Amino acid sequence: TTSTLQQVASTRLGFSPSRTMHIAQKLYEAGHITYMRTDSTTLGKEAMATIAHVVKETFGERYLSPQQYKTKSKVAQEAHESVRPSHMHKVSAGSNDEQKKLYALIRARALASQMSDAEIMRTTILATIGGEIPAFAARGARIIFDGWLAADPDARGEEFELPKVAEGDKLSLVEARSEGKQTQPPPRYTEAGLVKELEKRGIGRPSTYAGIVSTLQIRGYVERDGKTLKPTYTGDVVSSFL
C-alpha cells in the first residue's frame, strides 16, 4: 500500500515520503508499476498467476504459497490494487539509481507476498564461565528455511540471527565491553513512524501522507534531526493553540 511503501522506503532507502512518491510517480508514468496511491492489499488474478510463475522459476516449488490478502483497515476505499510491478519478469526498471532501488523494493515485496513462510527457530545461547559469574545469554533466532526471505533478503536484518552451535562447544572471547543503560523516554517520530501513526488513526488518505509530512517541515513546525522529527518552538505553540 502507499503507506507501507513510504515507510519501508524511508527505513531502508532513506527516502522521505514525498521523495518516494515522486520516484514512484516516474516509475508509474514509465509503465513499470501499477498506480502508487492505494490502501488496498489486493492483487489481480493475472498478477498472482504471473508472480507464481516467477517464484517457481526463480526459487522452486517449495517457495510458492499463493494467497490473497485482505485490508484490515475499516476506512480503506480499495479503489486500486496494491502497488506492484506491471511486468513481474522485469528484474530491474527505472532510468536512474533511485528509481531502480524503489522498483527492486516493490518487486521484492510483491514476490514475497506469494511465497512460503520462513521457518525460524527462536533460541537462546548461554555461555557459562564457571565460578560465581552468572551465564552470559544471547537471544535471537536461527533461520531453518528462508522462505519469502529469499526474495527480500534485506528483511533478514530485522531478526537477530545466531550461529549454529552445539551444547558443550567452547567459545573464544573476542572482546568484552560494558555499557550503562537507563530508562529512555519514548522515541520521537521518524517520517516512517508518523505515516504509520496517521494510517492507524485514520487521518488522511494514501494521497495525502507525503503532503502532511512535508508541510510540517516546510512551515517549520518540525525539523529533522537525522531520521527523527523534532517539534520546533513554533510547532509547540501551534500544537498548544489547537
Q: Which cell goes with 106?
A: 516493490
Task: Single out the catalytic residue among 35, 63, 103, 189.
Answer: 35
35 included as an active-site residue: yes
Coil, helix or strand for 196? helix
Beta-ladder partners of 125: 138
Q: What is the bridge-based pairing of β-strands 228-231 and 136-145?
A: unpaired
* C-alpha span between 204 and 216 (Å, rounded): 14
* C-alpha span between 225 and 185 (Å, rounded): 17
* C-alpha span between 190 and 193 (Å, rounded): 5
Query: What residues act catalytically?
Result: 35
